[in-house]
Chains A and B, each alone.
Chain A
């Protein structure tokens, strides 16, 4: 079993819909949670960063961490065709330099 599980999709939704992307994990020592966005043929770029539990909001994006369920989510409101990309979750413990990555979910927003 992988440490971080993420549905690869693709997830296809109409423009304007609310999108929910999720990752589950098994290591209770993870404290740093990140969402990266990767456009086709580009490198990943950081979208959201959360420490420990709770919610964090940035414009149309909300990151949520539920440590009791070992589950993190990224919500996108009023989705746009420009949001079409692969979204990767990544996690780290306090003591390790390495990020542990999900496989990425391909998101398609249809105009």
Chain B
């Protein structure tokens, strides 16, 4: 039981490049989330998926897109990376019967 896994662990991009961050959970959770974490700003919600087949914008969605590929997988895409997207990205999942979110180990992204 791996919980929530994220790939890659670390990535360096040049401005304008695109990439997809992958997230998978093996806990049969309905809801999945993408956050970014910047120093002094806590966790900010980018997008979430309350259940398979649905996605919704969070607090900071601009510059990102998401895909809920199936119940297990939720990917985050940066179409044209900008230095302001340098951050640590966390994926999380939650079952329908609890408010507890379980987090992956994070992806550190540096955009030059």
Interface residues, chain A, CB within 8 Å of chain B? 6, 8, 32, 34, 41-46, 49, 88, 92, 97-99, 101-104
Secondary structure class of chain A's binding surface, majority of residues: loop
For A49, the closest partner residue in chain B by CB is: B100
Pick the residue among B41, B58, B90, B99 that contacts A44 (CB under 8 A). B90
Give every chain B residue within 8 A of A42 (Cβ-Cβ).
Answer: 105-106
Inter-subunit contact A103/B42 (CB<8 Å): yes
What is the number of residues of chain B that contact chain A, defined by CB distance less than 8 Å?
22
B1 to chain A, nearest CB (A): 15
Pick the residue among A32, A97, A101 that contacts B31 (CB under 8 A). A97
- Could you jot down 6 A-B contacts, CB within 8 Å? A43-B106, A46-B101, A49-B100, A98-B45, A99-B101, A101-B44
Inter-subunit contact B50/A97 (CB<8 Å): yes
Interface residues, chain B, CB within 8 Å of chain A? 4, 31, 40-45, 48, 50, 58, 90, 92, 94, 99-106
Inter-subunit contact A103/B41 (CB<8 Å): yes
The 7 closest A-B pairs by CB, nearest first: A43-B103, A103-B42, A101-B43, A101-B42, A32-B99, A44-B103, A46-B100
